[in-house]
Structure 1
Amino acid sequence: MRQKRYDSDLTNSQWERLSRYFATDRKRSYSLRYHVLDAILYVVKTGTQWRMLPGEFAQWQTVYYYFRRWREEGRILCILSIISRAARRRTGQHGEPSALIIDCQSVPSTRVGGISSFDAFKKVDGRKRHIAVDTQGLLWGLVVHAAGDHETQWALQLLAPVASRLDRVETVFADQAYQGLEEKLDRELGWKLQVVDSEEETPGFSIDPKRWIVERTYGWFGGWRRLDREYERRTDSSETMVCFAMLRIALNRLD
């Protein structure tokens, strides 16, 4: 165990829930919990560079090795789905949602490179985080793509993998940018797309039914500095960073 602890570290109860998914017989000179998982959460929370990890963690090359390995395995997204089911059951709901809300968030990219383009509507040069959440704001689907791509180009790629993991979904709520996908979504997935119109006819800010939930999830991202901008060269690295943040948020609900 490290002597110095950080707010981003896993608690003992959270590690008890996760330890089975990282079980191994391999002997190491470092702890997967204290020196690797906590280090990755530290990066996502503080936004620091890999090479600038504090000395009490494992060497940055070791930490990044596991980040890359778990990214390629898709392990964190799988664990997130399991923890999200547990968080829903804690509130008395079914483990799987019957409705999802989808939306995009345009985020400026740094000069690190990788896929990027200009979102003319939101005036952002970078990428879009395309997410699907349940009515509690928990993440079930995620794809990161160039900001200039329209939502309808990626909606099915976002939802198709979710459909392979969830059996209860019947309805997807979305804003008017997704109009025209109703028949395709019904044909491909058997889901009903419900486009939500703003309740307010007057100009200005309004809270749209259901869609405020996905906006709240984007607000949660603001508490994780690595998600403030797109710092990753690869889009799957960006997706994994988001999954780590949402995993910790879901775990907090179980404490």
Structure 2
Amino acid sequence: MYPSDLTDDEWKLIKPFFPDPGYDKPKNGRLRDWPYRLILDAIFYVDKTGCQWRQMPSDFPPWGTVYTYFRNWKLDGTWKMVHDALRDQVRINARKCPQPTAASIDTQSVKTSFKRGLRGYDGGKKCKGRKRHIAVDTFGLILVLWVHSAALSDSLTGHIILACIKKHFKKVRKVWSDCGYRGFLEEWFYRRKPKRELEITKRPQGKFVVQAKRWVVERTFGWFEGSRRLSKDYEQLPESSEFFIYICMIRMMVRRLV
């Protein structure tokens, strides 16, 4: 058993999202060789340790089988569905409404590996790779996630994140951001005469000071560091990068709920 494996209580919590009727009573064909719990343990292991698919320990299912499930659940939206359901449950357990009323947005630039795929150069952070663009609630749980080229500025892409917040989280009335969103985003936001407020916090002069309300999004980026797969962007497709972030958050929320 590995530290990243699901415990019995954690599996009971997440099992309803992965119904497994075909393992015991297949409708057609032969019995499947591997239960969903072992598949999930293997995916959590890859996310936590950062190893390559082909380098998984031999006591897990074959890497091709594990990757196929990861890809299928990515394409059919299972990872996103599980993530959103657990996020709502965490908020309910904290006696909060599933729909947040405030959010914070920010980006994190990360280097990419030598694989082919979308990438760009972030002149501000002096980093060639991709940006993780997220919006989080007051608990630091992800509301909106978008991985894109690091060459795109925060101000020019922030309106897409705000549009997603408006579409899927209609109760949000206030959004915090840092000074990187000044300029185009401010003009675009207030030109539309919105019912919500955008507060762009200014960086204080002198020594480092924790910014009120905005530190939660920085803490979320810190949670990513607990998964070595996220220490650098190793994926060829930005969509795969997004779903490894969802997997990291799923593992964290499952432990919080047990």
TM-score by length of 1: 0.91
Identify the residue that residue 32 of structure 1 maps to in structure 2. Answer: 36
Of 176-185 and 78-87, deviating more is 176-185
Note if 1:11 corresponds to 2:16: no
Contact 1:83–1:250 under 8 Å retained in 2: yes
Identify the residue that residue 56 of structure 1 maps to in structure 2. Answer: 59
2: distance between equivalents of 1:164 and 1:16? 32
2: distance between equivalents of 1:73 and 1:163? 24
Residues 32-61 of structure 1 show CA distances to partners (whole Å, capped at 9, x for unaligned) of 112x11111100100000011111111111
Higher-Rg structure is 2
2: distance between equivalents of 1:143 and 1:107? 13
Residues 83-110 of structure 1 show CA distances to partners (whole Å, capped at 9, x for unaligned) of 1111112122222211111000000111
Note if 1:196 corresponds to 2:192: no
- Secondary structure at 1:40 match in 2: helix
2: distance between equivalents of 1:141 and 1:191? 17
* Corresponding letter in the other structure for 1:30: W
* Corresponding letter in the other structure for 1:195: I
The match for 1:66 among 65, 69, 80 is: 69
1: distance between equivalents of 2:165 and 2:219? 21
Identify the residue that residue 82 of structure 1 maps to in structure 2. Answer: 85
Contact 1:101–1:132 under 8 Å retained in 2: yes
- Secondary structure at 1:51 match in 2: helix
Identify the residue that residue 231 of structure 2 maps to in structure 1. Answer: 228
Gap runs ≥5 in structure 1: none
Deviation at 1:189, TM superposition (A): 6.9
Deviation at 1:191, TM superposition (A): 3.2
Shift of the 188–83 alpha-carbon distance from structure 1 to 2, 3 Å rule, reads: farther
* Corresponding letter in the other structure for 2:202: D
The match for 1:253 among 228, 253, 256 is: 256
TM-score by length of 2: 0.90
* Corresponding letter in the other structure for 1:81: D
Shift of the 190–81 alpha-carbon distance from structure 1 to 2, 3 Å rule, reads: farther
Shift of the 17–124 alpha-carbon distance from structure 1 to 2, 3 Å rule, reads: same
Residue correspondences, number? 248
Shift of the 82–163 alpha-carbon distance from structure 1 to 2, 3 Å rule, reads: farther
Contact 1:182–1:192 under 8 Å retained in 2: no
Deviation at 1:71, TM superposition (A): 1.2
- Secondary structure at 2:257 match in 1: coil
Q: How large is the Cα RMSD of the aligned pairs?
A: 1.7
Deviation at 1:26, TM superposition (A): 1.8
Shift of the 88–118 alpha-carbon distance from structure 1 to 2, 3 Å rule, reads: same
Gap runs ≥5 in structure 2: 24-31
